[in-house]
């Protein structure tokens, strides 16, 4: 028995510096080394699995499929399915999970004043962002279609898609920057207000209209997405339909209303629903610009606040479940429409 105790002690003794080295990297070289170790480790493990199953004659077929699918299923079961079930379970318990409280967390989320504001804001976001950004994206896609500067024009509007929402939040906070009337404005929008003779405004502080100024940021980001998809859809409209429209004397706006829009309807639906899903989960913008203060919080932000700041795990879980339930109908509709769109093509 001494022997095994010793082995255990030896493993512990040998492991602790290795574990320490792997877990606590504090300078650049060390971090990069840990990264390389992680990748090599991953390659070695996956290589071993594949080598183990790569004997077509000697191992049964199911071993091969487990070798290929197993890692993915393990990750998903551990990281998505199980935690999601745990969260649903936890949403029926109090703030530290010690007492079963039934639907109280949900009732609180739907009835308390501050949470009703959160739900109202979320509804505003989910309605406004998809509609407005799709409209702008559509108009822009039509007016730049087949012009000389099409590529550049599209890049300019698409660029906000490429940067982080944190970056976008900072860009727009600077646009909204407020100075007292007596001093020079440094935010462009307030300067514009002053130039036309109005008083500067606290864009991000004055509720409830501050919500619209946050929503504008996400519209600014998503219009590029809408434009790109819709532009491709416009390109795909069969020439004979366009020709027929022209023969019927349709031009400009008439063409837009009677030919372009009906032809790309499936793409429009996909764009609107896809943006709606992204909007429902929007967190970064609110977090960066107001941290959800001044009555600007949305469900995804409130989830973060309750779970990791207010340490109310039960309520946080309930908010996550609400997010999940809200997103399901949009996803189902989106997938259906995407299928339809593919069939048409």
Least distance to other proteins from the beta carbon of 69, Å? 4
Q: Would you tell me how many other CB atoms lie within 10 Å of the CB of residue 125?
A: 25
Residue 197 is a binding residue for other proteins (CB under 8 A): no
> Total binding residues for other proteins by CB under 8 A?
121
CB 314 within 8 A of CB 91: yes
Least distance to other proteins from the beta carbon of 117, Å? 19
Tell me 339's DSSP state.
H
Least distance to other proteins from the beta carbon of 219, Å? 10
Residue 130 is a binding residue for other proteins (CB under 8 A): no
| List 2, 5, 26, 199, residue binding other proteins (CB under 8 A) | 26
Q: State which residue, 6 or 83, has the beta carbon closest to other proteins.
A: 83
Strands (E) located in 82-137: none
Q: State which residue, 117 or 315, has the beta carbon closest to other proteins.
A: 315
**Of the candidates 219, 202, 218, 220, which has an alpha carbon nearest to the alpha carbon of residue 210?**
202
| List 121, 133, 297, 307, residue binding other proteins (CB under 8 A) | 307
**Of the candidates 149, 95, 127, 318, which has an alpha carbon nearest to the alpha carbon of residue 211?**
127
Least distance to other proteins from the beta carbon of 157, Å? 5
| List 304, 305, 315, 337, residue binding other proteins (CB under 8 A) | 304
CB 261 within 8 A of CB 268: yes
Least distance to other proteins from the beta carbon of 341, Å? 13
Alpha-carbon gap, residue 196 to 171, rounded angstroms: 23
Tell me 200's DSSP state.
P
| List 18, 50, 127, 241, residue binding other proteins (CB under 8 A) | 50
Alpha-carbon gap, residue 155 to 148, rounded angstroms: 13
Alpha-carbon gap, residue 3 to 144, rounded angstroms: 78
Say which residue the tokens 């982080």 belong to.
Answer: 164
Q: State which residue, 117 or 303, has the beta carbon closest to other proteins.
A: 303
Alpha-carbon gap, residue 334 to 345, rounded angstroms: 16
Task: Please report, as residue ranges, which positions from 137 to 196 form the binding site for other proteins (by CB under 8 A).
Answer: 139-140, 142-144, 146-147, 153, 155-167, 169-175, 177, 184-188, 191
Residue 321 is a binding residue for other proteins (CB under 8 A): yes
Residue 286 is a binding residue for other proteins (CB under 8 A): no
Tokens of 92: 């029926």
Least distance to other proteins from the beta carbon of 208, Å? 22
Residue 69 is a binding residue for other proteins (CB under 8 A): yes
| List 324, 336, 339, 344, residue binding other proteins (CB under 8 A) | 324
Residue 310 is a binding residue for other proteins (CB under 8 A): no
Least distance to other proteins from the beta carbon of 102, Å? 19
Residue 62 is a binding residue for other proteins (CB under 8 A): yes
SS3 of residue 50 by DSSP: helix
Least distance to other proteins from the beta carbon of 194, Å? 10
Say which residue the tokens 């199953």 belong to.
Answer: 53
Q: State which residue, 6 or 174, has the beta carbon closest to other proteins.
A: 174
Residue 220 is a binding residue for other proteins (CB under 8 A): yes
On the 0-12 / 13-18 / 19+ scale of CB atoms within 10 A, 160 is buried
Task: Please report, as residue ranges, which positions from 243 to 262 form the binding site for other proteins (by CB under 8 A).
Answer: 249-256
Alpha-carbon gap, residue 333 to 344, rounded angstroms: 17
Least distance to other proteins from the beta carbon of 38, Å? 5
**Of the candidates 158, 160, 182, 180, which has an alpha carbon nearest to the alpha carbon of residue 169?**
160
């Amino acid at each position: 028995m001494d022997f095994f105790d010793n082995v255990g002690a030896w493993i512990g003794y040998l492991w602790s510096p290795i574990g320490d080295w792997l877990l606590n990297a504090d300078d650049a070289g060390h971090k990069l080394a840990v990264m390389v170790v992680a990748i090599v480790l991953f390659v070695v493990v996956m290589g071993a699995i594949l080598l183990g199953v790569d004997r077509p004659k000697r191992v049964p077929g199911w071993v091969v499929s487990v070798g290929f699918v197993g890692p993915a299923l393990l990750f998903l079961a551990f990281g998505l399915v199980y935690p999601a079930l745990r969260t649903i379970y936890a949403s029926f318990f109090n703030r530290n999970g010690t007492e079963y409280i039934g639907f109280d967390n949900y009732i609180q989320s739907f009835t308390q004043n501050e949470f009703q504001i959160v739900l109202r804001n979320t509804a505003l976001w989910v309605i406004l962002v998809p509609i407005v950004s799709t409209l702008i994206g559509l108009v822009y896609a039509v007016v730049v279609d087949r012009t000389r500067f099409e590529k550049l024009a599209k890049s300019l509007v698409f660029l906000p898609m490429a940067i982080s929402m944190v970056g976008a939040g900072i860009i727009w906070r600077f646009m909204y920057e407020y100075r007292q009337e007596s001093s020079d404005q440094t935010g462009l929008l307030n300067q514009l207000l002053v130039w036309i003779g109005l008083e500067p405004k606290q864009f991000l502080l004055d509720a409830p209209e501050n919500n619209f100024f946050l929503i504008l940021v996400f519209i600014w980001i998503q219009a590029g997405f809408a434009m790109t998809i819709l532009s491709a859809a416009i390109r795909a409209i069969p020439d004979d339909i366009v020709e027929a429209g022209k023969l019927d004397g349709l031009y400009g706006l008439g063409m837009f209303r009677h030919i372009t829009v009906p032809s790309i309807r499936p793409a429009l639906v996909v764009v609107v629903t896809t943006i709606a899903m992204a909007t429902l989960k929007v967190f970064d913008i609110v977090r960066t610009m107001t941290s959800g203060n001044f009555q600007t919080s949305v469900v995804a932000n409130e989830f973060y606040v309750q779970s990791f700041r207010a340490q109310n795990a039960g309520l946080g879980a309930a908010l996550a479940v609400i997010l999940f339930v809200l997103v399901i109908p949009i996803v189902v509709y989106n997938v259906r429409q995407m299928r339809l769109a593919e069939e048409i093509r």
